[in-house]
Amino acid sequence: MMPKNKETLEKEYLRCVKNNVFVQIPKEKYLDYVKEAYSDIASAELEIEKSPKWALVKAYQALFLMSSALLIKKAGFYSKDHGCVLIALLRENGLSETVLNSISDLLKNKNKNEDFFEEVSNIRIARNKYLYLPQIQRQMNVSVKDIVGEIKALIKIMGVEE
């Protein structure tokens, strides 16, 4: 669950700092993360039919890498923690209002009421189900192909920031 106010956001950010999850990196390195994100989403699309589990894992990794790229470009650090990258992006205004509005429009068109940060959390939960649960327990109401497609669309929108 993403923080709903600045006080809670700052508290969560400081928790991330205390846990040493942020790593300083030169801002120009963000392009390396962008390239990896695009490579991983392309790889995920190729894996959908053969191995939906790994397609979803690869697609989620692409989203994490693109989020990291934007954080590096904005703040000069990345996060080793998937939740903290979102906290830091939110705190550092790592996504422009234009990008957030485009993402919001994408999610509304998919009849989703979540914002970007909540949707990434949902995607992470889906990835975790595929990664850590046997097939019989993965009850999902959306296909891996749809999730990978949504992640690709999110990455494309986020790529505008680069």
Structure tokens at 83: 């939740």
Residue-level pLDDT at 161? 67
Write out pLDDT tens, residues 28-83. 999 999 999 999 999 999 999 999 989 999 999 999 999 999 999 999 999 999 88
| Residue 160 pLDDT exceeds 90 | no
C-alpha span between 101 and 60 (Å, rounded): 21
C-alpha span between 140 and 65 (Å, rounded): 24
Residue-level pLDDT at 147? 93
Residue of 59, 43, 37 whose CA lies nearest to 150: 59
C-alpha span between 57 and 74 (Å, rounded): 26
Question: What average pLDDT does the segment 99-105 reach?
Answer: 90
- How crowded is residue 150: how many other Cβ atoms within 10 Å of its Cβ? 20
Beta strands in the chain (DSSP E): 22-24, 77-79
What does pTM read for this prediction? Answer: 0.90
Confidence of residue 162 (pLDDT cuts 50, 70, 90): low
Q: What is the mean pLDDT of the chain?
A: 90
| Residue 148 pLDDT exceeds 90 | yes
Question: What average pLDDT does the segment 131-144 reach?
Answer: 82
Q: Which domains does the chain have, with CATH numbers?
A: 6-161 (1.20.120.330)
Q: How far is CA 149 from the centre of its chain?
A: 13
Structure tokens at 160: 């505008």
Residue-level pLDDT at 142? 82
The DSSP element (H or E) to which 101 belongs, if any, is helix 97-109
